[in-house]
Amino acid sequence: MTAAAAARGRPAGHHLTPARVLARIGFYVLIAIFVIASLFPFYWIVITSLKSQSDLNQGTTSLLPGHITWGSYSFDLTQTSATGLNFGQTLLNSAIVALSATAVTVVLAVLSGYAISRTRIRGKGPVLAFVLLAGFFPPLAMAGPLFLAYRHLGLLNNYLALIITYMIYTLPLATWFLANFFSQLPRQLEEAATVDGATRLQALRRVILPIAVPGVFTVAILGFILAWNDFTFALSFMETPNKYTAPLAIYALGHTQYQTFFNRIDAAVVMITLPVALLVIFAQRRIISGLTAGALK
């Protein structure tokens, strides 16, 4: 009787019939499969990075790490190879280039996003279409001509070459996102500021930017991830190992030795993954909103 009463108390469709229980279990199994498929490879590289070379030589014998050594991490960070490759240095190079590219992206996209959404310039449609189209340009098709241009300008093997070229990854998305973001802010704010005697640029800096911080933050995080992840342009423009970025260093570690040292490569892989993984964990919503802003319209 109490069971029947309880069942009646629940909204319709929540009866725990065997079929429903099975469906629930199947649903959670599906979730488990997705999570394991996403995360297990990370587990595998972490335990491989903690193995010694002699353990690796014996092949895979267990799913557990066994004897743990941090030797590969200290090797990567302290040792410089005969070719002049030091992974710690390349991490630093990546950080410099990605952070600079992010800063430039934010400045350019704030200005152009503001112009597109808040001034009455002609040709907004064509400008936006061009910016969008630029984001579709094949990186490899650009690599050759830009290689020659940078060589001519003396910018090969120079951070600047990467910072400029990374705009192709970051600027289209950033401009679109910020143009859209600014257009949703109330117009009265800056009108009030300009009536009070501020110039437009002052109004942008003192009134619009402070309330646009979340949008700017989104653009900065996405820009950093996109710049951090580049491989193609670093391969094209950076010639000496002391100027490599971290992804290029991983490629070099995997292809310039007689023997593949999976533990050392995987330690590098773990170190390069950590910053972006943390960004996803702590700024998931922001990243997703930045990526989907376009898709939702």
Partner 1 sequence: MTARQEAPAGAAVTTAAPAPGPRGGRRDSMLAADRRLGYWLVAPTVIVLLAITAYPLFYNLWNSFHHDVVTSGVPATWGGVSNYQRMFTDNLFVPSLVRTLGFTVVSVAVETAVGLALALTLNRAFPGRGLVRAAVFIPWAVPTVVSAQLWKNMFDPQNGFVNYILTALHLPLAHTTWLGGTWTAWAAILVADAWRNTPFMAIILLAGLQVIPGDIYEAARIDGAGAWQAFRRLTLPLLKPALMVALIFRTLQSFLIFDVIINMTQGGPGTSTSVLSYLNYQAFLVDFDFGYGGAVAVALIVFALLIAAAYVRAFRTEQVL
Tell me which residues in 116-155 interact with partner 1 (CB under 8 A). 116-117, 119-122, 124-125, 127-134, 136-149
Q: If you count DSSP H runs as helices and E runs as strands, how many of each does the chain have, helices first? A: 16, 0
In the complex, the smallest distance separating the C-beta of residue 121 from partner 1, rounded to whole angstroms, is 4
198, amino acid identity: A
Tokens of 26: 């199947």
How many Å apart are CA 220 and CA 171, to the nearest integer? 11
Is residue 190 near partner 1 by the rule CB under 8 A? no
- Determine the 3-state secondary structure of 64 from DSSP: coil
Say how many residues make up the chain.
Answer: 297
> Is residue 64 a contact point for partner 1 (CB under 8 A)?
no
99, HSE (Cβ side, Cα atoms, 13 Å): 7
111 binds partner 1 (CB under 8 A): yes
Restricted to residues 75-104, the positions that interact with partner 1 (CB under 8 A) are: none
211 scored as a contact of partner 1 (CB under 8 A): no
The residue (of 103 and 279) whose beta carbon lies closer to partner 1 is 279
Residue 7 or 192 with smaller CB distance to partner 1: 192
Q: Are 86 and 271 in contact (CB under 8 A)?
A: no
| Least gap, CB of 215 to partner 1 (angstroms) | 13
From residue 269, give the alpha-carbon distance in Å to each of 29, 55, 272.
29, 19, 5
Nearest to 239, CA basis, from 150, 174, 165: 150
Please give the residues from 278 up to 297 whose contact with partner 1 meets the rule CB under 8 A: 279-281, 284, 287-288, 291-292, 294-297
Q: Using CB under 8 A, count the residues that bind partner 1.
A: 106
Residues 153-172 that bind partner 1 (CB under 8 A): 164-165, 167-168, 171-172
Which range in 55-63, 69-77, 79-87, 210-218 contacts partner 1 by CB under 8 A?
55-63
Query: Smallest distance, Å, CB 139 to partner 1?
Result: 7
Site for partner 1 in 219-278 (CB under 8 A): 225, 228-232, 235-236, 246-248, 250-251, 254-255, 260, 262, 265-266, 269, 272-273, 276-277
C-alpha 184/C-alpha 177 separation (Å) is 11
Q: Which two tokens stand for residue 136?
A: 């579709």
Instruction: Show the CA angle centred on residue 255, arms to residues 251 and 256, nearest 5°.
Output: 115
Q: Which of 5/139 has CB closer to partner 1?
A: 139
Contact indicator for 106, 217 with CB cutoff of 8 Å: no
Query: Considering beta carbons, is residue 21 or 280 the nearer one to partner 1?
Result: 280
Q: How far is the CB of 155 from partner 1 (least distance, A)?
A: 12
Residues 234 and 238: their CA atoms lie apart, in Å, by 5
